[in-house]
Amino acid sequence: MTDGMIRKAGVFEIVNHWAMSITFLVLGATGFGFLFHMEKMNVIFGDFNRMRTVHNWFGVAFSVLVLFKIVLYLPHVLSFDGDDVRWLLQGGGYLSKNAVVPPQGKLNAGQKLFAAVIIVAGVAMAASGFIIWLMPGVKRWLLLSQLAHNVSFDLLVFAIPIHIYLASLASPGSARIMLSGTVPLAWARKRHAKWVAALESKAAVE
């Protein structure tokens, strides 16, 4: 393998990521609108009835994207290992300038954790959202869904700004993964040693 660029994310993964970020922005903004009765939102949506329609249909799109997310990332989440535990215990090396962290796979432990949060909160959001929308008849379910929807909301509005920060300012060179999909090999070897090693041994066999 030459010392050039290496593909870290495919086109489908990148499109899914940005599509999801758009649904997240719309759903989050309208979600805050419902939560705090922000009548200013009417400037954009006209009234709360229309805002509800937008929220629901973006929710449908979000749910489909969550399904893709599961297909794309669940295998990574399930590959969580001892190195990942140690990586997390060291705060991923983000707590000091000279930290040396355990070698990581294609996703580091923090990214696996974030993918897990998106999958769990995303599924809870989608399921509870559909229950509130389509079957509000059973009160126990309605209350449970309202609770699940709001717990997931809190989780996501906390996790996503941190994700944005860690994937941009905190880690120069990361943002391009979700733009071009490729990273310099040296950069990848440094941060995802196990992944690059596996690729290289595979290439050697072939």
Partner 1 sequence: MAETRRKAILISPESCIGCRGCQTACKAWNQLPGQKTGDPANFQNPPDLAPTAFNLIRYIEMPGDAGQLRWLFVSRRCMHCGDAGCMKICTAPGALSRTKEGAVVYDQDKCIGCKLCSASCPFDVPRFDGRDKVVKCHQCHDRTAEGFLPACAKTCPTGAIRFGDRGELIATAKKAGYEKLYGETDLEGLGTLYAFRETPKTYGMIENPAVPESVVFWHRVLKPLSVIGTGAAVALSLIHYIAVPPKRDEEVKRDD
The residues binding partner 1 (CB under 8 A) are 32, 34-37, 39, 47-49, 51-52, 94-97, 132, 136, 139, 142-144, 146-147, 150-151, 153-154, 157-162, 164-166, 169-173, 186-187, 189-190
Distance in Å, CB of 147 to partner 1, minimum: 5
Q: Which is nearer to partner 1, 70 or 116 (CB)?
A: 116
Distance CA 106, CA 177 (A): 12
H helix runs in the chain, sequence order: 11-35, 42-45, 48-78, 82-89, 109-134, 139-166, 185-191, 193-205
Nearer to partner 1, 72 or 151 (CB): 151
Kindly tell me which of 37 and 205 has the beta carbon lying closer to partner 1.
37
Q: Nearest approach, Cβ of 123 to partner 1 (angstroms)?
A: 18
What is the closest distance, in whole angstroms, from the C-beta atom of residue 132 to partner 1 in the complex? 7
Smallest distance, Å, CB 143 to partner 1? 5
Partners of 183 in beta bridges: 6
CA 170 from centroid of its chain's CA atoms: 17
CA distance 163 to 160: 5
Residue closest to 77 by CA, chosen among 102, 109, 55: 109
> For residues 10 and 161, which CB has a smaller minimum distance to partner 1 in the complex?
161
- Judged by beta carbon, residue 21 or residue 171, the one nearer partner 1 is 171
| 79: Cβ contacts below 8 Å, ≥ 6 apart | 105, 112
Query: Rounded distance, CA 204 to CA 199, Å?
Result: 9
Q: Which is nearer to partner 1, 28 or 181 (CB)?
A: 28
Q: How far is the CB of 2 from partner 1 (least distance, A)?
A: 16
Q: Locate tokens 């290439």: which residue?
A: 203
Shortest distance, position 165 Cβ to partner 1, whole Å: 4
